[in-house]
Amino acid sequence: MEHQDQNIINLKTISRLFHELAFNKENTRLSQKTLQLSAQYINLFIREGILRSNDERLSDGDRLSHVDGIDNLETIRGNEGEEVEEEVPDITLNEDDIQSNPNTQYTSNEPPADGDNDTLDVRHLSKIAGVLLLDF
């Protein structure tokens, strides 16, 4: 797994981000290990965002717009404008749903069928962004 050791973001860039955004004193120093750990964290965050966005693209659904465990009800409008409550299906993952190889868990090796969208878009990331931030 050589590619996991490579940093997506240069350590100098991470150091500059810390100094520009987080530190009040210019003479604050960062160790090399701190920068490497921060780089691993950022790489993990980016990778997880891509994997979750791809999962959202493949499912092409609204599953993250419903919070499981709060009320599982979605309000919709009926013909006369009255509110109608509809039960949202449970979408929890079971162990059988998870593949053994974590690197291919949320990816598809199959080419898209005619008419399918095979492009990862910002709308896919925007659907998972809130939950992704809460997880990190």
Contact 93, 81 (CB under 8 A): no
Q: Which residues pair with 43 in a beta bridge?
A: none
Which domain, by its residues, includes 112?
2-135
Q: Is 57 exposed, middle or buried (0-12, 13-18, 19+ CB in 10 A)?
A: buried
User: What gap in Å lies between CA 43 and CA 121, rounded to an integer?
Assistant: 19
Q: Is the pTM of this model over 0.75?
A: no
Given a contact cutoff of 8 angstroms between Cβ atoms, the answer to whether 74 and 62 are in contact is no
Mind listing the pLDDT tens digit of every residue in the chain (136 residues)?
A: 445 556 678 999 999 999 999 888 888 999 999 999 999 999 999 999 999 998 888 887 545 444 444 444 445 555 565 665 655 555 565 555 555 555 555 555 555 555 556 788 788 888 888 888 888 7
Q: How many domains does the chain have?
A: 1
User: How many angstroms separate the CA atoms of 66 and 59, rounded?
Assistant: 15
